[in-house]
Chain A
Amino acid sequence: NAGVTQTPKFQVLKTGQSMTLQCAQDMNHEYMSWYRQDPGMGLRLIHYSVGAGITDQGEVPNGYNVSRSTTEDFPLRLLSAAPSQTSVYFCASSSILAGETQYFGPGTRLLVL
């Protein structure tokens, strides 16, 4: 199993540009989530999904959209990037069958100029 994969690893955007952060998992986990990690703030939940076709907002959803058309994929979209979205983004997945342990991807480092 590849586990949780994220692309790209690094990205630089200009203010106002849009992009999609990709996340995929091959463990058939029903639960997937996106976090951002900022110094002194820890990890904050952006959006999560409990299954295909179902998404919900987390702690800091503004400026981000998600969709869950398949069990495997959970892309995170920035429609109009802002410097405040400069961060490291982690995708995670988990399953009740896996004891609800969250498996994290390697992260995407995003810089918005």
Chain B
Amino acid sequence: AQSVSQHNHHVILSEAASLELGCNYSYGGTVNLFWYVQYPGQHLQLLLKYFSGDPLVKGIKGFEAEFIKSKFSFNLRKPSVQWSDTAEYFCAVEEGNNDMRFGAGTRLTVKP
């Protein structure tokens, strides 16, 4: 079975710092890739997704992610974080059979 790895459990940054959250998956076939965010006290929301085409995907709130097929990676980036970006971020990988697997999540704390 495929697995999804998020390397950082908790990241602490100051405002305006750059962010990169790692995500790697093990499945070798065609996949759809997602990043979800869960703000404190709220439910999951989609940040961005990749199905095909340009491997650099832009999402909401200034986030982007790059799909590197050779590295089985889909890292999330933001050039300058804000205090309001404090949340938990989940990477997800979907195989063709609708089986979606999530990473363990990365908690981001942005200090004002």
B-binding residues in A (CB < 8 A): 31, 33, 35, 40-45, 48, 50, 58-59, 90, 92, 99-102, 104-107
Query: How many Å lie between the Cα of A106 and that of B4 in the bound state?
Result: 23
In the complex, number of A-B residue pairs with CB atoms less than 8 Å apart? 51
> A44, B102: Cβ atoms under 8 Å?
yes
Q: Identify which of residues 79-112 in chain B touch chain A, using a CB-to-CB cut-off of 8 Å.
A: 90, 92, 94, 98-105
> A42, B43: Cβ atoms under 8 Å?
no
Point out the residue from A41, A43, A50 that lies within 8 Å of B98, measured CB to CB.
Answer: A50
Binds A, one of B13-21, B44-52, B61-69, B70-78: B44-52
> B1-26, CB under 8 A of A: which get 1 and which 0?
10010100100000000000000000
Query: How many Å lie between the Cα of A106 and that of B101 in the bound state?
Result: 19
A-binding residues in B (CB < 8 A): 1, 4, 6, 9, 32, 34, 36, 42-46, 49, 51, 90, 92, 94, 98-105
